[in-house]
């Protein structure tokens, strides 16, 4: 009950979003917690609410000054005393801030991971141990991720050197099992409750097929989507060019996007697509980062991507406006071979090969695709969603059996 009171009285929100309450209760109950929630789900609240319920201070570790300033400004607007220890602070301001903090002036102190290696700050923290240490953007601890920050690996030492072990929680939107494991070991979390929620996209229909002729299958799919906006993802520039030409030849107004084009050509193509001057984009995975286009009605993967995470991220560009949208994956043995060759050239070939094997497993398995994906990302999901080719395929099969039985 108390958590709801804090939510309403201090933050002015009516109710918790999926995952928030579970995380807050685990943390307040003294259990280490790793919360994996998508961007925009409200991860900050998961540490801000417990922070207000502690006697002493909370340290929030965050990788970017701009993120810290944003959050502390929001908190101060709500009359919650929060501050970020900014590296551009003068020595005097810095010392005064620490002095005020030691007198209990702040509920939340935002610090960069680098700060935790500073002798003076370590001494301060040992004299004024925090009740709670929250690590935001925790995937930065994973060397496999895009945002690896070596100083995140030092957080563990910092926490272990405190005179009392604080409440300890970590937050990220990166849901792959490998990164999750890296976070738990890298931060030295003790049997944390792992919460993964909110990755389901109910309006997306998922399908996978292994067509003998991908071009025909592509044109067949396209035929059902005429006039709608969509993306055709390919793994290589060559296949991207191939699909682009194929679509053009069959009367689709398509553009293309890959690393072999000039920056000018790429931004012109992206612009045309976003403004609906062309309907279809044939692209490599280079396309899509930060492209927020609501009315993408389909995403077709002409080749199998290198990981299920990449697949779900790209497929997830469909249906952002909430309308029904279709995500179709084509795969074949050559995709696996191409993937293996690409994996071998990556910095961490074993990891890349494992991700690829997991992607292949998804292609080969039978059953509900949505449940499979969500389980892969750690959500607790079983049964059939009724909105994917795994489910509808089986329903068709069942109908066929019933037909044979009943005539």
Q: Which residues bind ligand ADP (CB under 6 A)?
A: 13, 16-17, 20, 37, 39-45
Which residue, 13 or 148, is less far from ligand ADP as judged by CB? 13
CB of 20 to ligand ADP, least distance (A): 6
Beta strands in 270-362 (DSSP E): 280-283, 296-301, 325-330
Which residue, 43 or 197, is less far from Mg ion as judged by CB? 43
The DSSP 8-state label assigned to residue 331 in this structure reads -
CB of 313 to Mg ion, least distance (A): 17
Which residue, 20 or 285, is less far from ligand ADP as judged by CB? 20
CB of 358 to ligand ADP, least distance (A): 25
CB of 319 to Mg ion, least distance (A): 23
How many other CB atoms sit within 10 Å of the CB of residue 270? 19
41 interacts with, out of ligand ADP, Mg ion, none, CB within 5 to 8 A per kind: ligand ADP
37 interacts with, out of Mg ion, ligand ADP, none, CB within 5 to 8 A per kind: ligand ADP
Which residue, 43 or 107, is less far from ligand ADP as judged by CB? 43
- Name the residue among 143, 146, 137 with its Cα closest to residue 171: 137
The secondary structure of 43-74 as a DSSP string is: HHHHHHHHHHTSSS-EEEE-S-HHHHHHHHHH
Footprint (CB under 5 A) of Mg ion, residues 35-54: 43
Report the residue closest to ligand ADP, judged by CB. 42
149 interacts with, out of Mg ion, ligand ADP, none, CB within 5 to 8 A per kind: none
CB of 307 to ligand ADP, least distance (A): 22
H or E element in which residue 199 lies = none
17 interacts with, out of ligand ADP, Mg ion, none, CB within 5 to 8 A per kind: ligand ADP
Which residue, 43 or 214, is less far from Mg ion as judged by CB? 43
Burial code (b: 16+ CB inside 10 Å, e: under 16) for 302-341 equals bbbbbbbbbbbebbbbbbbeeeebbbbbbbbeebbebbbe
What strands, in cross-sheet order, belong to the sheet with 193-196?
A: 82-84, 108-111, 58-61, 132-135, 167-172, 33-36, 193-196
Q: How far apart are CA 133 and CA 162, in angstroms?
A: 11
CB of 37 to ligand ADP, least distance (A): 5
Q: What are phi and psi of 83, to 5 degrees?
A: -150, 150
Q: How many residues bind Mg ion (CB under 5 A)?
A: 1
393 class by beta-carbon count within 10 Å (0-12 exposed, 13-18 middle, 19+ buried): middle
Q: Interface residues with Mg ion (CB under 5 A)?
A: 43
């Amino acid at each position: 009950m108390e958590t709801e009171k804090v939510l309403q009285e201090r933050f002015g929100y009516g109710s918790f979003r999926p995952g928030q309450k579970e995380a807050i209760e685990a943390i307040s109950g003294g259990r280490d917690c790793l919360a994996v929630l998508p961007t925009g789900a409200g991860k900050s609240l998961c540490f801000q609410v417990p922070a207000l319920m502690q006697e002493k201070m909370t340290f929030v570790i965050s990788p970017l000054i701009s993120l810290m300033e944003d959050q502390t400004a929001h908190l101060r607007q709500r009359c919650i005393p929060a501050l970020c220890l900014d590296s551009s602070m003068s020595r005097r301001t810095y010392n005064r801030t620490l002095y005020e903090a030691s007198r209990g002036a702040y509920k939340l102190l935002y610090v960069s991971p680098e700060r935790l290696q500073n002798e003076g700050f370590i001494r301060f923290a040992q004299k004024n141990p925090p009740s709670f240490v929250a690590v935001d953007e925790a995937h930065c601890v994973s060397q496999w991720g895009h945002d690896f920050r070596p100083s995140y690996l030092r957080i563990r030492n910092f926490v272990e050197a405190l005179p009392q072990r604080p409440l300890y929680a970590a937050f990220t939107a990166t849901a792959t099992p490998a990164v999750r494991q890296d976070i738990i070991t890298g931060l030295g979390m003790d049997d944390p409750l792992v919460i993964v929620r909110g990755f389901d996209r109910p309006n997306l229909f998922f399908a996978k097929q292994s067509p003998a002729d991908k071009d025909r299958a592509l044109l067949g799919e396209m035929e059902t989507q005429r006039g709608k906006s969509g993306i055709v993802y390919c793994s290589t520039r060559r296949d991207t060019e191939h699909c682009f030409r194929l679509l053009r030849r069959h009367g689709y107004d398509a553009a293309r996007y890959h690393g072999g084009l000039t920056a000018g050509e790429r931004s012109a193509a992206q612009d045309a697509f976003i403004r609906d001057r062309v309907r279809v984009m044939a692209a490599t995975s280079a396309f899509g980062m930060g492209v927020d286009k609501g009315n993408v009605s389909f995403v077709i993967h002409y080749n199998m991507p290198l990981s299920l995470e990449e697949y779900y991220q790209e497929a997830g560009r469909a249906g952002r406006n909430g309308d029904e949208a279709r995500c179709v994956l084509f795969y074949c043995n050559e995709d696996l071979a191409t993937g293996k060759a690409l994996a071998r050239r990556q910095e961490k070939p074993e990891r890349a090969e494992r991700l690829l094997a997991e992607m292949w497993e998804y292609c080969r398995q039978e059953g509900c695709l949505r449940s499979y994906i969500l389980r892969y990302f750690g959500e607790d999901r079983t049964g059939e969603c009724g909105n994917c080719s795994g489910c509808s395929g089986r329903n068709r099969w069942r109908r066929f059996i019933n037909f044979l039985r009943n005539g």
